[in-house]
Structure 1
Amino acid sequence: MSNKIQYEYRPEHMAVSVPTKYKPENLRTEEMVLNIGPQHPSTHGVLRLEVVTDGEVIVDVVPHLGYLHRCFEKHAEALPFNQIIPYVDRLDYVAAMNSEHAYVMGVERMLGIENDIPKRIEYIRVVTAELNRLASHFVALGSYAMDIGAYTPFLWMMRDREQILRLLEWICGARMLYNYIWIGGLFYDLPVGFEERCLEFIQYLKPKLDELQQLVIDNKIFIQRTANVGVLPLPVAINYGCTGPMLRGSGLRYDLRKVDGYSVYPDIDFEVPIGEGKMGKTGDCWDRTWVRVVECRESVKIIEQSLQQLMGNYKRTSDFDPQAMVPKKIRPKAMDFYVRAENPKGELGFFFRTDGRSDIPVRCKARACSFNNLSAIGELSKGALIADLVAIIGSIDMVMGEVDR
């Protein structure tokens, strides 16, 4: 069967041609093609699944991307490095602070100023990034529970996510698209009293995560819907370039905060959870969800330790200027450069090509973790039931702004 997308035209049913991989003559007697979606709240018009079924059993799934088209890379190739940050926010718009951290760190390394960034700035970046990681996982966990029939967890997650968005809004004035982490520094220092208020929130959140585990992860119905469903073997995950909870759920303890040790993460004590097949097979939907819940606990530990540093060794001073290291003109040497960081959904990487004459990159390429994770959906779904496909899609936790960039 050819992998080339063919076009099927039926004038009696439609006025335009619809791209399809499978033509009727290529299907076996009992097989049929269903178009599922776009129905998911985060895939409104930008993802359609072409599902080949044999009765209730899935034979193959082919994802078709729609038209969100952020055009990030072409925008970036027409702007100076410092003006690209707002466009970075709009890739994974649920975790914009993490994306900013990855991009800014890459430019700083390229300029050779990474080690000159004050420790207070680095700890503030880690606090904001981990708060945003929590907010991202809350969206993933809440919407996933709702996808498979549980409404209460979504309300609880949105309630606690709202607290995080208010904290981030207090810092920079924006709730989702921040432009807060700048090359060489920050837009603002933390507001007076932020550290204490954030610690209060962390203490409030710890028992709420226990409630989340009891309500969702340990729930008998949730286990039945996710255990042994959408199993992603570790070799397959590696071959597809899956990263983040998708990869760790398959059993590989791989986290760039540990592997690459960027920013101040080497000075912070935290663990990297992996899927262990506790309720089914290693790498199933339950394992991926469990990894995200445990990562929320680890993010709480990271924020707590970072706030202690900000209130102790690196407390605010009257002469502290978060923009003191911000370069007035960014003109790197001619080179090819790649940097990566651990986003809530996996490895986010940026490739830059510069000519040494301009502050505008000749080429800017984003390595989007959601794109690679989504590409494995065919392997995840083969042999599953149609009813399980929604559970499999939700366990990937993708944002289409990053996929269709």
Structure 2
Amino acid sequence: MSPLKNLIAKSGLALAAGLLLAGSPAVQAQDAVAGKAVFDANCAVCHSIDANVVGPALKNVHERRGDEWLVKFVQNSQELVQAGDKDAVEVFEKFNKMPMPAFGTSLSEDEIKNVIAYIKDESSKPAAAAEVAPVAEATDATATPPAAQAEVDFLDLPPVLLYTFLLAALIILLTALVLVMMFRLFIPMLGESIYDEDFRSSFAGRVLFLLKGDATVMTGKAKDKIHSTHDFDGIQEYDNDLPPWWKALFYVTIIFAVGYMLHYHVFKTGALQDEEYEMEMQEAAVFAANNADDPNAVTDYEVLTEAAALESGKSIYNTNCAACHGTEGQGTVGPNLTDEYWLHGGDVNEIFKTIKYGVPAKGMVPWQGKLTKDQILEVSSYILSLQGTNPANAKEPQGDKE
């Protein structure tokens, strides 16, 4: 019986070891599943596996830092930074000195290790881009690429255009030569008569003498006649003509003013500034309606007050916003949402735009594409419902008072 007992004992141990080894991957997989739930609830707002968001990409972070360091960093990152930990300081400096919320009081060590297990599991998966690459290549092969607009040198233009430009240049040159020859032929024939006052005051005479360098036609004549009564402290005034170009421009402004008054104020065939402004605002509204992603689009949302909408907004807030603004809106990494001070406006439409387009410079990601318009309006209304709740440990006011 003794050999039989030994055989049974050895077989039991082997079976137990086999079950343990066989169950190990399942346990790890279970940890990753639990870690995904924790990650989605607390970390997905600021982190992605493959891309930098508010914080760094987490792919293979366990290989760069180690599990023990990651647990400490998640529990209280600022404690490591203040202690001078090289890696913690590097991450803090690289990502705009945005402090990561301390999860040491809200997450257990096992939950943090489950998150690390999830990161390891995701890091071991092939990149999504590599999986869809063949499909993209096939699509590109059948698609017609858009024509690129390349600059064309002048000499590379079609010959017809080059000949046209050359012919136009020759015509201009020949016209100039003919005019010069005519002046050289006919002016000597006129002799001294070109200096007669009648000829000089004519249009042809003015043009001729302007070409000869006489600018009187533009500046007027200097009479050198002193006003008898315009003498002050030894300063005298000459009674010279105003420049003809100035007088012509003055007459043009008078004609323009009469036409302007008739057009805008008498016949009312033109739009005044107020009307132009209203038309431009209507055009802008049409443009904004056709472009849903225009951050300057005018919105006129009203605050939601229904209990169902506010409850939905609270659920969205707890899932996506509480990590940075606190579960009660008291502010942690992000500002306090319960006081009367706002960095980007406290109207429901201003809050809606802040959530939709984010504030990337300050670490807030845009939520368009992740939340629908109705969801953004619900969470905006819920945030406004937190006004005056005065939660404990509220962050100091930031921004302007509304």
More helix by share: 2
Shorter-chain TM-score: what band? under 0.3
When the two structures are superposed, what TM-score results if normalisation uses the length of structure 1? Answer: 0.21
Structure having greater relative contact order (Cα 8 Å, sep ≥ 6) = 1
When the two structures are superposed, what TM-score results if normalisation uses the length of structure 2? Answer: 0.21
More strand by share: 1
